[in-house]
Amino acid sequence: MINRIVRMSFEPQKVDDFLSFFETVKAQIAAFDGCEGLILLRDAQLPNVLCTYSYWQSEAHLNKYRYSPLFKDTWTKTKLMFNDKAQAWSLVVEQKVK
């Protein structure tokens, strides 16, 4: 299982545009082969910073999504709203308590 976190900082006036756009693509992303879940998070202190947290069956599934037309289109439209470079991490759960 791969956990993918992508931190995105948006122009403050573009946050609502992103949220509207995310509504149109979230079901497609969540239904992509190998995606086990998708969560959108907002920074508690910086309301223009949002993160996607997705769960993938494997790194191969994640990479298949990352090189798909869906990702290319989504990322092209999303990054136009940024005010800073995005950051991304792929993580494997080492330990889980409870």
- How do residues 24-62 score in pLDDT, each as one tens digit? 999 999 999 999 999 999 999 999 999 999 999 999 999
Please name which of 67, 59, 48 lies closest in space to residue 91, comparing C-alpha atoms.
59
87 near 7, Cβ under 8 Å?
Answer: yes
SS3 81: coil
Which band of pLDDT confidence, cut at 50, 70 and 90, is reported for residue 81?
A: very high
Fold entry, domain 2-91: Alpha-Beta Plaits (3.30.70)
